[in-house]
Amino acid sequence: MKIAATIAAGLMLVATPVLAATHPLTKQDALQLTQLGLGDDAIVAKINADKVDFDLSTDDMISLRKQGVSSAVIAAMIANRYEAKAELSLDSPDPRIPHPAGLYALQDVGGPHMKRMEPTVTNQAKTGGILGYAFTGGIASMSVKAAIQKETSAVPVSRQPRFYFFSAESNGSDAGAWASGTNTVVASPAELTLVRLTRKDGRREARVGSMNIAGAKSGVMDKDRIEFRHELVRPGVYKVELSQPLEPGEYGFIYSLAGGGSSGAMTARIFDFTVQ
Going by C-alpha positions, the residue among 213, 232, 229 that lies closest to residue 162 is 229
In whole angstroms, what is the distance from residue 174 CA to residue 83 CA? 18
Range of the domain at 191: 102-275
Q: Are 210 and 142 in contact (CB under 8 A)?
A: yes
In whole angstroms, what is the distance from residue 196 CA to residue 223 CA? 11
* Number of domains observed in the structure of the chain: 2
Q: 74 and 126: one domain?
A: no
Q: How many CB atoms lie within 10 A of CB 120?
A: 18
Mean per-residue pLDDT pooled into runs of 10, the chain (276 residues): 46 42 76 89 86 82 92 86 71 93 92 92 62 55 78 94 91 56 68 91 81 60 88 94 94 71 58 94
pLDDT of residue 10: 46
pLDDT of residue 122: 73
pLDDT of residue 132: 53
- End-of-domain residue from the set 79, 94, 129: 79
Long-range contacts of 263-267 (CB under 8 A, 24+ apart): 263/125, 264/144, 264/146, 264/208, 264/209, 264/218, 264/219, 265/122, 265/124, 265/125, 265/126, 265/144, 265/145, 265/146, 265/147, 265/208, 265/209, 266/122, 266/124, 266/125, 266/146, 267/122, 267/181, 267/182
The distance of Cα 65 from the centroid of its chain, to the nearest Å, equals 43
Q: 177 and 71: one domain?
A: no
Q: 32 and 145: one domain?
A: no
Domain assignment present for 86: no
Q: 129 and 241: one domain?
A: yes
In whole angstroms, what is the distance from residue 159 CA to residue 254 CA? 19
Domain assignment present for 263: yes
Domain assignment present for 89: no
Q: 16 and 144: one domain?
A: no
Can you name the residues that pair with 73 across neighbouring β-strands? none
In whole angstroms, what is the distance from residue 140 CA to residue 173 CA? 48
- End-of-domain residue from the set 79, 111, 139: 79
Domain assignment present for 201: yes
Q: 133 and 251: one domain?
A: yes
Q: 111 and 228: one domain?
A: yes
Domain assignment present for 85: no
Domain assignment present for 95: no
Q: Residue 164 belongs to what H/E stretch?
A: strand 162-166
- Quick check: helix, strand or coil at residue 210? strand
Residue 225 is classified by DSSP as B
- Quick check: helix, strand or coil at residue 188? coil
- End-of-domain residue from the set 79, 114, 141: 79
Domain assignment present for 90: no
